[in-house]
């Protein structure tokens, strides 16, 4: 095999080995590289114990006169191959089984020594390597990415003082206040016990039965019925540590803290119909989206922020700050952004990195501590325990989990121990003074000396019993668009419950939060429509709840996927201009034709090289996989597209999913045929815009001069098209009821 051939088929890491590899600026990457098996043109298949094999296809067997005889148990290679295969699977995570991971780097820009002595939060010269795993909660490892669910957003910082994990979600609150309820909420959400239905869905009797029976879930289930539970991309999703942690400074003072991470691309979601379709059309949609962006060098970035409350302020609020079913409203406690992380490297191997990565909320570093948040306290027990079941007791020696700082102690043995510790003693204290604990001055972790006194009992403080105020705060803070989506989400979920007691009671619970919401849902799903509010709505709102609060300051279409529809006879000038402009704006153009072989422009011979080979064909992909659509003109191309039911469906569906659509010359007729465009609302020269559909009718570029003219004309056209896309979706289309043609 030539090295050129090898570099085509080998994974990135192996390519690095072939091309010399070398040290990077990332300590974790260097450490991982030491574990990478070298693959080079001289590599040959060996058994696991190192013997080169000549045949890996035929089991050793008896043959006679070209007749096949019995296989021999003796064959060590045959047995090794099958035995290894039989044991390839490890238990999937009991929750968050479906996920994807990437590497990244954290950089601090604003040190906070006033709150903490943690090096990662005080030293701006550091670049801390990270591993991040995104996940859904309920589905199995093979389930679809776009289902309605909470998303896990777990961070592992490989700091100089040890690993620090924030095992967060994309929703800032949780269903339960006490870890002891976790098996119940998860059992209720997972497939039902009698038939293992449904997969990766909360739309079933048991889930909603539990939500009603367990009122502390009220706030959280409003979040999961909002658009937060159907993100457009992991790159456009917030993350939250959810639990209340503490920070401790050099003076020994302690502060309560919540961690936030906010994407620079804004917070955006799919629309529900699109999410449903994608679950079948491209179950890997989110993981592919993330890998694609990183492969293109479009590294997702997130601002890292903190909300801080001094220890003395613990009881200053009408909610308990240790209650994970409550947010700390941003109007009261603003988020202060102190750093940024970017995700910049895809894994080399999914199993050894993403599947074997293991997070623990209990993994904190000096300067960071726990609080008495009862959910956090339980989590601190659970994660270490689950990793032992999933990966074995030596899971922290696995390359992906290993800290970048020295690890040395007297823990020993257990299955699959890798490291070899020299020395004659494995206990402390010992006569050699070998491996003593560290002092504070040496960077040892010193627990905060908290005073604790009280009664031992199974109860929580009174503020923990208010389950409605923040649910109201959430609903009140949504925009009309978001509220409508939430009503439809409740409608969908409760429609999948066939036990009337489940959906009837749930709508009664909704009336304790917002009467008109409850009425709308009850009308959709059946059962008595509540007439009276269960309790008065306090009417308060706060920022940081609505996704519209996170629109990037400067409109951007960076990283967005734009489909360009063409057919034979397309107009090359407009095609080239628009495609180049999309790239220049940092977005990704994808050419879609009736076939994935060369498509020829108007006025050119159908000779290889004169046209363009599309990235996909109309049947191979769907509009759901793109953020916007440009339909390119040309007489023959437009006639062909207008005749294609699938092309019509692409346009209609993109319109129904509120996406920006643009068309030039004859393609304007194609778009108008597909969708009943309402009256043109904005018209600027030849450019017309109506409900996010931007058209430029008079383009003809049969000559160079005309092509240049088009490039000039297209300025307003492209600006409007791109602006529409930067707003993510055309909400006016939905508000005015025009999106029904999906």
- The binding site for heme consists of 383
Query: Which DSSP symbol is given to 424?
Result: S
What residues between 398 and 437 interact with ligand HDE by CB under 6 A? none
Q: How far is the CB of 10 from ligand HDE (least distance, A)?
A: 27
180-209 residues near ligand HDE, rule: CB under 6 A: 182
Q: Which member of 33, 35, 55, 96 is catalytic?
A: 96
Stretch of residues binding ligand HDE (CB under 6 A), selected from 53-61, 164-172, 415-423, 717-725 = 164-172
Instruction: Quickly count: other Cβ atoms within 10 Å of residue 377's Cβ.
Output: 17
Question: Which two tokens mark 375?
Answer: 């959910």
Integer Cα distance of 200 and 179 in angstroms:
22
Total count of residues recorded for the chain: 742
Distances (CA, A) of 625 to 237, 272, 565, 596, 650: 18, 14, 14, 17, 11
Q: Please tell me whether residue 169 binds ligand HDE under the rule CB under 6 A.
A: yes
The partner residues of 406 in beta bridges, in order of sequence, read: none
The yes or no reply on residue 327 touching ligand HDE (CB under 6 A) is no
Distances (CA, A) of 665 to 309, 651, 709: 59, 16, 14
Q: How many CB atoms lie within 10 A of CB 304?
A: 23
Reply yes or no on whether 394 is catalytic. Answer: no
Closest to ligand HDE by CB, 179 vs 562, is 179
Quote the CA–CA distance of 502 and 513 in Å, as a whole number. Answer: 17
- Tokens read off for 185: 């909420």
Task: Using the rule CB under 6 A, give the single segment among 4-12, 91-99, 586-594, 703-711 that binds ligand HDE.
Answer: 91-99
> Nearest-CB residue to ligand HDE?
152
Taking CB under 6 A as the rule, does residue 386 contact ligand HDE? yes
Closest to ligand HDE by CB, 123 vs 397, is: 397
From 88-96, 106-114, 362-370, 481-489, give the range in contact with ligand HDE by CB under 6 A.
88-96
By CB under 6 A, tell whether 94 contacts ligand HDE: yes
The structure tokens listed for 405 are: 């700082």
Q: Between 376 and 578, whose beta carbon lies closer to ligand HDE?
A: 376
Interatomic CA distance for residues 598 and 104, integer angstroms: 39
Q: Are 651 and 667 in contact (CB under 8 A)?
A: no
User: Which spans in 142-195 are helix H?
Assistant: 182-189
Question: Nearest distance from residue 377's CB to ligand HDE, in Å?
Answer: 8
The closest alpha carbon to 728, from 542, 548, 536, 498, belongs to 548
Distance CA 617, CA 449 (A): 65
**341 near ligand HDE, rule: CB under 6 A:** no
- The window from 24-32, 174-182, 549-557, 715-723 that contacts ligand HDE (CB under 6 A) reads 174-182
Q: Does 152 bind ligand HDE (CB under 6 A)?
A: yes
Q: Judged by CB under 6 A, does residue 168 bind ligand HDE? A: yes
Cβ of residue 370: shortest distance to ligand HDE, in angstroms? 13
Asked if 570 interacts with ligand HDE (CB under 6 A), we say: no
Minimum distance, C-beta of residue 428 to ligand HDE, in the bound complex (Å): 29
> 163 vs 537, which CB is nearer to ligand HDE?
163
Tell me if 93 contacts ligand HDE by CB under 6 A.
yes
If the CB atoms of residues 117 and 363 are measured against ligand HDE, the closer one turns out to be 363
Q: Is the CB of 375 or the CB of 517 nearer to ligand HDE?
A: 375
Cα–Cα dist 603/639, whole Å: 16
Q: Are 479 and 545 in contact (CB under 8 A)?
A: no
CB of 215 to ligand HDE, least distance (A): 18
Q: How far is the CB of 96 from ligand HDE (least distance, A)?
A: 3
Decide if residue 277 touches ligand HDE (CB under 6 A). Answer: no
Cβ distance to ligand HDE smaller for residue 95 or 404: 95
Q: Provide the minimum distance between the beta carbon of 168 and ligand HDE in the complex, in angstroms, as a whole number.
A: 5
* Shortest Å, Cβ 246 to ligand HDE: 16
If one asks whether residue 174 binds ligand HDE (CB under 6 A), the answer comes out as yes
Q: For residue 358, state whether it binds ligand HDE (rule: CB under 6 A).
A: yes
- Give me the 108-147 binding string for ligand HDE, x by CB under 6 A, dash otherwise: -------------------------x-x------------
- 237 or 242, CB closer to ligand HDE? 242
> How would you classify the pairing of strands 561-565 and 588-593?
parallel
322 binds ligand HDE (CB under 6 A): no
| Minimum distance from residue 361 beta carbon to ligand HDE (Å) | 8
CB of residue 698 to ligand HDE, shortest distance in Å: 53
Q: Supply the DSSP string of 468-535, one letter for each residue.
A: SHHHHHHHHHS-HHHHHHHHHHHHHHHHT---HHHHHHHHHHHHTT-HHHHHHHHHHH-SPPP-S-SS
By CB under 6 A, which span of 330-338, 372-380, 503-511, 600-608 interacts with ligand HDE?
A: 372-380
For the CB of residue 135, give the shortest distance to ligand HDE in the complex, in Å. 5
- Contacting ligand HDE (CB under 6 A), which of 112, 155, 167, 522? 167
Looking at the Cβ atoms of 177 and 664, the one nearer to ligand HDE is 177
**129 vs 589, beta carbon nearer ligand HDE:** 129
- Interface residue with ligand HDE among 102, 154, 267, 668 (CB under 6 A) is 154
Nearest to 201 by CA among 212, 190, 209, 210: 190
Rounded to whole angstroms, how far apart are CA atoms 347 and 353? 7
Q: Which of 88, 104, 132, 141 is nearest to 357 (CA)?
A: 132
Among 229, 306, 375, 647, binds ligand HDE (CB under 6 A): 375
Q: Which residues are annotated as a binding site?
A: 383
Q: Tokens in use for 186?
A: 């998860």
Binding segment for ligand HDE (CB under 6 A), chosen from 163-171, 397-405, 590-598, 686-694, is 163-171
SS3 of the chain: helix, strand, coil, percent, to 5: 35, 15, 50
Q: How far apart are CA 668 and CA 690, in angstroms?
A: 12
Check: CB of residue 239 under 8 Å from CB of residue 170: yes
* Sheet with strand 687-690: strands edge to edge: 616-617, 588-593, 561-565, 628-631, 660-664, 693-696, 687-690, 682-684
Q: What is the DSSP letter of 93?
A: P
CB neighbourhood size of 471 (10 A): 26
Rounded Cα–Cα distance for residues 149 and 115 (Å): 34
Closest distance to ligand HDE from the beta carbon of 331 (Å): 23
Using the minimum distance from each CB to ligand HDE, give the nearer residue, 242 or 506.
Answer: 242
Nearer to ligand HDE, 277 or 286 (CB): 286
Q: Does residue 314 contact residue 321 with C-beta atoms inside 8 Å?
A: yes
- Per-residue binder mask for ligand HDE (CB under 6 A), 217-246, x = binder: -------------------------x----
Per annotation, catalytic residue among 169, 346, 380, 739: 169
Sign of CA dihedral 561, 564, 565, 567: negative
Helix (H, G, I), strand (E, B) or coil at 669: helix
DSSP conformational letter for 135: E
CA 375 remoteness from chain centre: 23
d(CA 73, CA 77): 10
Binding region for ligand HDE (CB under 6 A) out of 168-176, 438-446, 543-551, 716-724: 168-176
Residue 96 annotated to the active site? yes
The correct pick among 14, 32, 95, 309 for binding ligand HDE (CB under 6 A) is: 95
Could you give the 3-state DSSP secondary structure of residue 662? strand
How big is the site for ligand HDE, counted in residues (CB under 6 A)?
A: 26
Segment (H or E) for 643? helix 635-643
- Catalytically annotated residues: 96, 169
Binding site for ligand HDE (CB under 6 A): 93-96, 99, 133, 135, 152, 154, 167-169, 174, 179, 182, 242, 324, 358-359, 375, 378-379, 382-383, 386-387
């Amino acid at each position: 095999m030539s090295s050129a051939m090898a570099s085509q088929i080998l994974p990135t890491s192996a390519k690095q080995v072939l091309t010399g590899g070398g040290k990077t600026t990332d300590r974790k990457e260097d450490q991982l590289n030491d574990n990478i098996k070298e693959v080079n043109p001289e590599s040959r298949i060996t058994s696991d114990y190192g013997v080169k094999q000549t045949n890996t296809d035929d089991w050793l067997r008896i043959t006679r006169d070209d007749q096949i005889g019995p296989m021999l148990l003796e064959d060590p290679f045959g047995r090794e191959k099958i035995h290894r295969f039989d044991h390839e699977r490890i238990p999937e995570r009991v929750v968050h089984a479906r996920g994807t991971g990437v590497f990244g780097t954290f950089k601090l820009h604003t040190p906070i020594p006033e709150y903490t002595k943690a090096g990662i939060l005080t030293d701006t010269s550091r670049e801390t390597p990270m591993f991040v795993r995104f996940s859904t909660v309920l589905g199995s490892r093979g389930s679809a990415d776009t289902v309605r669910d909470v998303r896990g957003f777990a961070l592992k910082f490989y700091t100089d003082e040890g690993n620090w994990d924030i095992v967060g979600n994309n929703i800032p609150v949780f269903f339960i206040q006490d870890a002891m309820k976790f098996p119940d909420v998860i059992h209720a959400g997972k497939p039902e016990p009698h038939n293992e239905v449904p997969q990766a869905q909360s739309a079933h009797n048991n889930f909603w039965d539990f939500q009603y029976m367990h009122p502390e879930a009220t706030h959280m289930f409003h979040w999961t019925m909002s658009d937060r539970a159907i993100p457009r991309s992991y790159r456009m999703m917030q993350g939250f540590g959810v639990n209340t942690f503490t920070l401790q400074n050099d003076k020994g003072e302690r502060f309560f803290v919540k961690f936030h991470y906010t994407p620079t691309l804004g917070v955006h979601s799919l629309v529900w119909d699109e999410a449903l379709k994608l679950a079948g059309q491209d179950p890997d949609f989110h993981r592919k989206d993330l890998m694609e962006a990183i492969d293109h060098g479009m590294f997702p970035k997130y601002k890292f922020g903190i909300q801080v409350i001094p220890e003395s302020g613990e009881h200053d609020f009408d909610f308990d700050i240790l209650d994970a079913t409550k947010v700390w409203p941003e109007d009261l406690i603003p988020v202060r952004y102190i750093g940024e992380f970017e995700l910049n490297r895809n894994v080399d191997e999914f199993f050894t990195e993403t599947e074997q990565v293991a997070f623990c909320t209990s993994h904190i570093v000096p300067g960071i501590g726990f609080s008495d948040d009862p959910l956090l306290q339980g989590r601190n027990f659970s994660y270490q325990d689950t990793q032992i079941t999933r990966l074995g007791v030596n899971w922290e020696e696995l390359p992906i989990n290993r800290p970048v700082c020295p690890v040395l102690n007297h823990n020993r043995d257990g299955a699959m121990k890798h490291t070899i510790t020299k020395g004659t003693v494995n206990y402390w204290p010992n006569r050699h003074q070998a491996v003593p604990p560290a002092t504070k001055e040496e960077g040892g972790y010193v627990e905060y000396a908290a005073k604790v006194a009280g009664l031992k009992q199974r109860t929580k403080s009174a503020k923990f019993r208010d389950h409605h105020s923040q649910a109201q705060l959430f609903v009140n803070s949504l925009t009309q668009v978001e509220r409508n989506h939430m009503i439809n989400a409740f409608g969908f979920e409760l429609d999948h419950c066939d036990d009337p007691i489940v959906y009837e009671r749930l709508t009664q619970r909704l009336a304790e939060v917002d009467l008109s919401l409850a009425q709308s849902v009850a009308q959709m799903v059946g059962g008595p429509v509540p007439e009276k509010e269960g309790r008065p709505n306090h009417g308060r709102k706060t920022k940081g709840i609505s996704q519209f609060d996170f629109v990037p300051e400067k409109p951007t279409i960076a990283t967005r996927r734009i489909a360009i529809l063409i057919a034979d006879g397309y107009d090359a000038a407009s095609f080239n201009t628009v495609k180049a402009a999309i790239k220049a704006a940092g977005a990704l153009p994808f050419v879609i034709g009736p076939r994935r072989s060369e498509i020829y422009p108007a006025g050119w011979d159908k000779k290889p090289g004169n046209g363009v080979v599309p990235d996909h064909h109309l049947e191979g992909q769907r509009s759901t996989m793109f953020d916007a659509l440009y339909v390119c003109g040309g007489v023959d191309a437009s006639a062909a597209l207008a005749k294609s039911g699938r092309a019509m469906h692409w346009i209609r569906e993109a319109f129904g999913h509120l996406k920006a659509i643009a068309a030039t010359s004859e393609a304007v007729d194609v778009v108008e045929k597909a969708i009943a465009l309402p009256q043109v609302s904005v018209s600027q020269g030849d450019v017309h815009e109506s409900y996010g559909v931007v058209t430029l009718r008079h383009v003809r570029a049969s000559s160079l001069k005309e092509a240049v003219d088009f490039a000039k004309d297209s300025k307003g056209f492209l600006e409007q098209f791109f602006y529409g896309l930067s707003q993510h979706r055309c909400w006016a289309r939905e508000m005015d009821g025009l999106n029904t043609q999906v």
